[in-house]
Chain A
Amino acid sequence: MTTLVYLIPVALFLGALGLSGFLWALRSGQYEDLDGAAERILIERDDKPER
């Protein structure tokens, strides 16, 4: 019982961390262009980042 008192919050915290990570990725537009992201990894960029 006592282990549960801290194990459940830990489990929920980790889950919530994943959830907030997903929501952040969604908001910052990382799902806008899935096909493009897959291809862009093959493009050699100049040293300066574009944006």
Chain B
Amino acid sequence: MSLQGALVISAALFGVGLYGVLSQQSFVMIMMGLELMVNGSLVATAGLWLWAAGGSPKGQVLAIVIMTAMAIEAAMGFALVTTIFRSRKADITEKLRRLKL
């Protein structure tokens, strides 16, 4: 249990999430990948807070900001998925080749 360990785990989470974002076709699965990436950054933040920042509460505030970003990403992502599905019946990325309506 060390800072390096936390950073390696966070990098692995980020890498797995990036793989998912790049490889998946379904919008919902892409959002799962994004969640995993944000999750990785959360682990790194907590590790740096504990071992490199002297436990300053500002580090925890940063983690809360990251969680806010996670919530915003999920909410806006699902709203966009709903809108796109309603207007174009598209549930996978391949159906969205044109920006124009």
- Decide whether A and B assemble into one complex: no
